Structure 1
Amino acid sequence: MVDNKESKLNEECKENTSTEFEVGCDAATEECIEETEATSEETSEEVLDFTKVLKDKVAALEEEVKLLNNKLETAGDRFIKLSAEYDNFRKRTNKEKENIYTDACADVLKEFLPVLDNLERSVAVGGDIEDFKTGIEMVIRGFKDSLVKLNVEEVESEGEFDPNLHNAVMHIEDSSLGANQIVEVFLKGYKRGDKVLRYSMVKVAN
């Protein structure tokens, strides 16, 4: 009888212990689940906040890219416009230069056409040598008048040698003459303003 009672008590103890263990496990499990759920909620909120921040940054970057693209497009249009304007300016300038040169040549040639006319008349008209000489002198005067109209003047070739106006092609020693003295002019020089058209070819002493 005693053994039966002890056996019965042992079984009741086991059942009670098993029940208490199960209850403890269930409580621990529920607590773990609650902590996990709380952590999950916090993580979800952090993820949502981080996602929102990323979306805001992406939106800001997209807006910045849009502005930069607009600026780039504007700059490209401006570059194309400037290129076209420069090309037109270059063509216009070249055309103006050609016209200036053509007009300058025309102005010069118009002044010398009468000289050519007088030379042709001199050849056509008969007469002796004196008449021919007189005709040539008239042509020379007409030629010089044309040079005056074009503001062309003869280079002064008397006195001291000036390398800016004269070209010394011969040199002599003569104690009766001063240093760098022009002795003879072989070819007259001409200038227009400060521009020398042709240097005088001269002989220089000492």
Structure 2
Amino acid sequence: MSDKQEELNNEEVVQNEEVQKESNVEQNESSEMTADEKIAELEAKLKESEDKYFRVHADFENIKKRLEKEKYQAIDYASEKFAKDLLAPIDTLEMALAAEETSKEVPSEELLSKLKEGVELTIKNFYSAFDKHDITIVDTDGEFDPNYHNAVMQVDSADHEDGQIVQVMQKGYKFKDRLLRPAMVSICKK
């Protein structure tokens, strides 16, 4: 009986080994499917990440182009407010000219007075536009400063010290801290 039992045991061992081999094959196949599934999943994630990257990159490029365009528009139209503020003095000058043409019956002294008033109003409008935009007149009281003054003449003056400004021939202007135009002056030379 022991031979039969041994034979049965051997058969069982062989069957167990075959079952185990089949199980191992099935496990390998299932692990291969799992690996294929993982690869497919990772490829899908990679594709999704690439898609997100390309979209973000495209958005960035669009924003960059839009900001560049806005920057150039801001530069091109930077003086728009100043230009609008200069319209009032032009209107005043045009009204003064129109008043001269329509008032042929008015005495010349009265016409001259009205024209003077119109010019004064125009200058006032210019200075108010200048104030809005930080344009100031260069100071010409006191000593000559080559950074802000342009000496076009030297004159003798008993009332002034050597190097002092005697007369202003043309006003100078500054925009904030920058010089737009130096003042043309004559200075005292002793």
- The answer to whether the superposition gives a TM-score over 0.5 is yes
User: What amino acid does structure 1 have at the position aligned with 2:66?
Assistant: N
**Does the aligned pair in 2 maintain the 1:191–1:198 contact within 8 Å?**
yes
1:161 matched residue in structure 2: 144
Per-residue deviation, 1:153? 4.4
* SS of corresponding position for 1:74: helix
User: Does structure 1 residue 201 correspond to structure 2 residue 189?
Assistant: no
Per-residue deviation, 1:101? 3.3
The unaligned stretches of length 5 or more in structure 2 are: 1-31, 33-37
Hey, which of these two has a bigger chunk of helix by percent?
1
Question: Percent of aligned pairs with the same residue?
Answer: 23
1:28 matched residue in structure 2: none
What number of residue pairs does the alignment pair up? 153
1:182 matched residue in structure 2: 165
User: Does structure 1 residue 145 correspond to structure 2 residue 121?
Assistant: no
**Computing the radius of gyration over CA atoms, which structure comes out larger, 1 or 2?**
1
**Does the aligned pair in 1 maintain the 2:155–2:186 contact within 8 Å?**
no
Per-residue deviation, 1:123? 4.5
**Does the aligned pair in 2 maintain the 1:112–1:146 contact within 8 Å?**
no
1:31 matched residue in structure 2: none
Distance 1:199 1:133 in 2: 32
**Does the aligned pair in 1 maintain the 2:163–2:187 contact within 8 Å?**
yes
Per-residue deviation, 1:149? 1.9
**Does the aligned pair in 1 maintain the 2:165–2:188 contact within 8 Å?**
yes
Structural mapping, 1:58-77, within 5 Å:
71-77=49-55
2:66 matched residue in structure 1: 88
Per-residue deviation, 1:142? 0.5
**Residue deviations 1:56-95, cap 9 Å, x none?**
xxxx999988876665543332211100112222333444
User: What amino acid does structure 2 have at the position aligned with 1:188?
Assistant: K
**CA pair 88-175 structure 1, distance change in 2 beyond 3 A:** closer
1:106 matched residue in structure 2: 84
1:131 matched residue in structure 2: 110
The unaligned stretches of length 5 or more in structure 1 are: 1-54
Per-residue deviation, 1:185? 1.7
User: What amino acid does structure 1 have at the position aligned with 2:127?
Assistant: V
Distance 1:134 1:186 in 2: 25
Distance 1:149 1:173 in 2: 34
User: What amino acid does structure 2 have at the position aligned with 1:166?
Assistant: H
User: What amino acid does structure 1 have at the position aligned with 2:98?
Assistant: E
Q: Looking at both structures, which has the greater relative contact order when contacts are Cα pairs under 8 Å and sequence separation is at least 6? A: 2
User: What amino acid does structure 1 have at the position aligned with 2:70?
Assistant: R
**Residue deviations 1:159-196, cap 9 Å, x none?**
211233322223x3648442321122221223454344
